[in-house]
Each structure stands twice: as structure tokens, then as C-alpha cells.
Structure 1
């Protein structure tokens, strides 16, 4: 079995792994400016998508051009989230060369879609493939690929810790080789109860002091997690941006949620914002909590809310996830200023980072890989793939970090 890394090698974004030039695992995009896509030309016989985040599924519609449609295998939530992301990408970039697909391609993707549940084996491009719950977001999966001689486990993104939205992964299917993500290979997450407690205290204190809290959050996963935390602690909140549609989508897939009733309750606790007639500007003047896209401050309604509250230290910007190098969110954390709609603005409001990560940390990665100590491990999806692979080798693993475009023989 040969695997080629077309994206996500030594980086976070545009994940894509090609197996024997036939089976494509993920086909994402990196939301940089301009967006970045996997390298090389591909014409797969079939595609399997691990989960519905932009960096894993964002470029899949570009595979739906002329000719036969490759079947696209995924869970039902991943299918629905992928279509939502594709429509949003068309809205943002569809009239520019930055977008590699059209509305027709998105329609063709619905025709190519083949949904599966966890643990259900199926044939794809001549391989036996099985999806296992990955504990990252609803519908996220580890992908096991079996050609009859070699069993390859593609971890996708996964979490071994507690979240309110989904259960932690416990799946450790037998495999001969593992492609393992490494986003937090150099970090340990704070205890989730402590993160929640500090987050809720910050929200309450800011509102009590007469301030406004803006919670930039990824539309898929993080918005719903923040909503669940607010509802569990009786904190009123507004929700704005794509996270509204995603929440409604996930409620329709209760079997992929840890507690479907809790998410329905969190949706009832929140007030949706439609953004018309200056509504956002008025809400920004209230003593309230606003959960809004985008999570890294590179678009969405956050472009209105953060500038509106930036001028007073009583207000708070409560970031809830990893801020990629080069994004406005990362710049704001490091310098206290960032670019908003082309304007470089200083932010006097308090800026905080709360680690609601949906990825395994250093200990979680080692716990997962302990089941594969005598197997080949290929490290991807991280800023420090090489150093993590070196650490694993020191501990006796057969580990390496493939480079972008590299082909590995298993």
C-alpha cells in the first residue's frame, strides 16, 4: 500500500491523503488569504471524508467536475456540514479565482454522497473501509482502510477527553500502520471542568460589571459547545453567524450527539441574531454574551462585534480555540491589535483564551498511540510533526513525519 500526503503534512489545513492513487482520504482547504488547497492533480476512484471541518472537507466539491463522479463516503452529519461549508465558500469566493468549484459541482456532490454509520464496513475503490467514532465533532471518524494485506488507520482529528457535545473516542481498531494527527502534541489541556468554570466566571463578571462579552467560536463544534456551557450554567447568550444553521443541522442527528436533549435546550436558551437593521450594533451595546463566528476573527459577524466593543477594558473578547499563526485572532492574542475588514485596530477590551479544544493533547495522543506501539506511525496535521515523530522514536515507536507531496510505502 502506498500513501501520498497531498496536504496536512507538517501543517494544519488542507488535509489530503491519497492511497494507491485510487482512494482519497479527506480533501480540505486552508482558510488563509488566499485559500490554500492540496497539491497535485487527483482523480480518485472514491473519497472518504473523516469529518466536516473546512480543513478536511472544504475542497471536496472540486472533485466533482466533468466525468464520472467518485462516490464520497462519510457520516450523515459530515455530509450535511460539508454542503453548508461549500455554500459558504461559494458565497465568499465563488465569483473569484480563489474558489476551485461551482454551484454545479456542489449539486453533483449531493449525487455522489454515500452516508454510513459508525462500525459499518463498506467497499470503496476496492478497499474495505470502516468508520469509528473519533470524539472530535458530531460525525467525526477514524477511517480504517483494509486492502486484504495491510490495514491503515487514518485517525482524522480526534479527542480522548470530555466534551459536552460528543463522547470521547474509545475506538482502537487493529491496524498495521497509523496516520495520526498531532495538533496539540506539545501541549497539555487544562482540566475541562476548570476551563468551564473560568470561562463562566469571566462571562458573569463582565456582564455584572456592565460589559459585553464577544465569544468568537468556530461554527462547527465550538459554537455548540459554548452554547451548551452557557445553558448548563444559566448564562443567557446570543448566537450569530453560521453556527445557527450548524446547530439546527446537528439537532437533526441526535444519534451522533452525546446528549441531544441538552443541545435542544441550549438552542432554546440562546437568542439567534439575523443581523438586519443594525441589530448587531444594538446588541453590542448590551450587557450580554454574544457567541459568533468566526473563531479566528478572519470573517463573519465577529468583524462587527469586536470593533464595536474594543474601546473599553470592561468588555471581553473570549477566544475559545486554537488561533493559527497569521490569523487576526493570533495577532490579537499576541499584540493586542488586529486587522478587521482592512483596518488595523487596537483592542482595549480584555482578551482571553479558553482552551475548549476538541483535539487530543500530548497525553491523549500517547494514550491513543499506546495501542499501536509496534506499528508504523506517520505523523501529520500539526505545526510540530517532526519533533513529535522524533519523540515517539525515542520511546521506541517506528514513527516519521512525511513531507508535503511525499509518498510512503507501507
Structure 2
């Protein structure tokens, strides 16, 4: 088995792994400015997608240019998320050199899509492939690829702790080689339940003092997590941005099986007030004593561009960031300086700013727990992280056969 790392090696973003030139696992994009894509566009016989985040699925429609029509295999939620993200990419970049695909290529996705449940083996490009629940977001999957001689486990992104939407992964299928993400290999978090309690207590305190809380959140997963926590604590909550569409997507009958507790999301959906974005509506909401969950999670677009300026001047108000803020984003600038550049305007923020680590990735302890069964049984190839080489070295010291492939490297499995 021959593995070519077209993206996601020693970096986070644009994940893409080509097996024997025939089977492609993920084909994402890095949404920086400008965006970046996998090193080259292959011509695979089939495509497997681990989950519906932009860095894993963002460039998939580009594979359908010309006469190419490889079948694309994913879970039902991942397929639907891919369609939402692709339409948003065309909306943002259509007609520019930054958009890697066209409307016509996007339309072809429905013709080649093949969806699968967890645990049901299927054939793709001559390999037996099986999805296992990765516990990252609804529909996320570990991908087991078997060519009859070698069993390769591609972890995708995964989490080992229980979240509001999904349970942590418990799957540990037999494998000869594990291609593992390592996003938070250098981080140890408090228990998830503790972070959730602190988050809710902070929101309650601000509301009790008469303030407004803006919760910038990623549309996929994070928005719905915040909704569930607000509903459970009976906190008034408005929801705005792409997260409203994703909430509807997760609520569809065929996607409910991929939720830990469909009733939990249904209750949160009933409890929330969804914003339709009419003129003036957002400013009126920002004047209320309420919680506003809105995209984008790093303050570089979406309705947050209206809410943050509207609440920034009052020290009683609060901005509760719910995830990692990438360097160079307004969210990172706000954390480090107390100011943020919103829509090209630098503005001082007097409102309180807090950050909560609601990551859907395993931390160091979670990575160690997941990989432990493979210590003596499999080789580990470390990817999808800022410190892949360092983590591979840590694993070797702990007795693993581990290394971190370079971007563009081809690894031949013996």
C-alpha cells in the first residue's frame, strides 16, 4: 500500500491522502486569506470523506471537473454538510480565482454521492472500507481501509469525551497502520463537564447583571452545543448565521441516528429563537438582556460583524469565545489586545472577553487513550497538527513505531 500525503501533513488544513493512486481520503481546503488547497488534484477511482468540516471536504467538488465522476462515499450528515459548505464557498468566492470549483461541479455531487452507516463495510476502488463513529461532529468517521493484506485506519478528526451532540469514540478496530490526527497533542484540558459548567455560570452572571452575551461559534457542532447548554440552563438564546441551517440539517430524520440524543437537540431547537437577518433586527436583539449564538467563531465574518460592534462599549456585556482563535484572525487579536478589526475597522472592546475550550478534538490524554491499543500492534503516522514531528517523537519514546510524514511525501507500507 502506497500513501501520498497531498495535504494535512505537518499542518492543519487541506487534508488529503491518496492510497495507491486510486483511493482518495478527504480533499479539504485551508480557508486562510488566500485559501490553499491540496498539492495537486488527483484522478482517483473513488473518494472517501471522513467528516463535514471545510479542511476535510472543502475541495471535493473540484474532483468532478471534466469527465471525472468518481463515487464519493460518506455518512448522510457529512454529505449534507459538504453541500452547505460548498454553496457557501461559491457564495464567498464564486467568480474569483480563490474558488476551486463551479456550480456545475457542485451539482454533480448529488449524482456520485453514496452514503453509508457506521459499521457497514462497502467496496470502493477495490478496497473494503468501513466507517466507525469518530465522536467529533455528527456523521464524523474513522475510516478503515483493507486491501486484503494491510488494514489502514485513518482516524479523521476525533474526540474521546462525551459532547452535547455526540458521544466520544469507543471504536478501536484492528489495524496494521494508523494515520492519526494530532491537533491538540500538546494540550491537556479539564473535563468537558467542568468547562460546560463554567461557561453556563458565566452566561448566567452576565444576564443577571443586565448584560448581553455574544457567543461566536462555528456553525457545525459548536452552535448546537451552545444551544443545548442554554436550553438545559433555561437561558434565553438567539441563534444566527449558518448555524441555523446546520441545526435544521442535523434535525432531519436520516441524520438523527448520528446524534447522541436527538431529543436533546429537539429541545434546544424549541428553546432557541432563530434570527432571519432582517434589517434592524440584529441591532434590536443586541440591545436585549440575552444570549446570542452566532457565526463566525473567529470573528472574521457572519452576523458577529453586527453583534460585536453593537455590544462592545458596555463593560457589563460579554463576548464568550468558544474555541481556538487562529493567529491573524480578529478573534485572536481581541484576546491578545482587547481590540479587534471588524469589517476593516479597528475598534476597542470594553465588553468582557472570555474563551472556553469546546474543541471537538481529543487532547493529549484522549490521543494517548485512543492510540494505546496500537502501541505494539501497528505503525502510527502522525498528521493534522502543528507539532506532528514532536508528537511522533513522544510516541517513539513511549514504545510506538511512529513517524510524521512530510507534506508531499509518499510512504510505502511494507
CA distance in structure 1 between the aligned counterparts of 2:45 and 2:357, rounded to whole angstroms? 39
CA deviation string 1:129-152 (max 9, x = no partner): 000000000000000011111111
Q: Distance in 1 between matches of 2:177 and 2:285?
A: 51
Q: Distance in 1 between matches of 2:356 and 2:346?
A: 24
The aligned length equals: 410
Bigger drift between 127-136 and 31-40 goes to 31-40
What residue number does 2:87 align with?
A: 87
Q: Secondary structure at the match of 1:333?
A: helix
Are 2:346 and 1:324 equivalent residues in the alignment?
A: no
Structure 2 counterparts to residues 59-138 of structure 1, below 5 A: 59-138=59-138
Counterparts of 1:203 and 1:217, CA distance in 2: 15
SS of 1:152 mapped into structure 2 = strand
Alpha-carbon displacement from aligned partner over 1:71-127 (angstroms, at most 9, x marks no partner): 000000000000000011111111211101111111101111000000111111111
Query: How far does the alpha carbon of each residue in 1:242-279 deviate from its partner, in whole angstroms, 9 at most, with x for none?
Result: 10010011011111001101101100100000111211
- TM-score by length of structure 1 reads 0.98
What secondary structure is seen at the aligned counterpart in 2 of 1:351? strand
Aligned mates of 1:126, 1:338 — CA distance in 2: 51
Mapped to 1, the partners of 2:233 and 2:207 lie a distance apart of 14
TM-score, normalisation: structure 2 = 0.97
Secondary structure of the 2:362 match is coil
Q: What runs of 5+ residues in structure 1 fail to find an aligned partner?
A: none
How much does 1:346 deviate? 2.1
SS of residue matched to 2:11: coil
SS in 1 for 2:234: coil
Maintained 8 Å contact 2:41/2:63? no
255-264 or 330-339, which deviates more: 330-339
| Among 383, 388, 391, the residue aligned to 1:385 | 388
Q: What is aligned with 2:8?
A: 8
Aligned to 2:261: 259
Q: How far is 1:307 from its partner?
A: 1.4
Question: Which ranges of 4 or more aligned residues in structure 1 deviate by more than 3 Å?
Answer: none
Quote the Cα distance in structure 2 between the aligned partners of 1:94 and 1:83: 15
Match of 1:153 in 2: 153
1:403 and 2:406 aligned: yes
**Where does the alignment leave 5 or more consecutive residues of structure 2 unmatched?**
none
* Distance (whole Å) between structure 2 residues aligned to residue 7 and residue 228 of structure 1: 34
Moved more, 186-195 or 211-220: 186-195
CA–CA distance in structure 2, aligned partners of residues 302 and 117 of structure 1: 35
2:83 counterpart SS class: helix
Q: What is the Cα-based RMSD across aligned positions, in Å?
A: 0.9
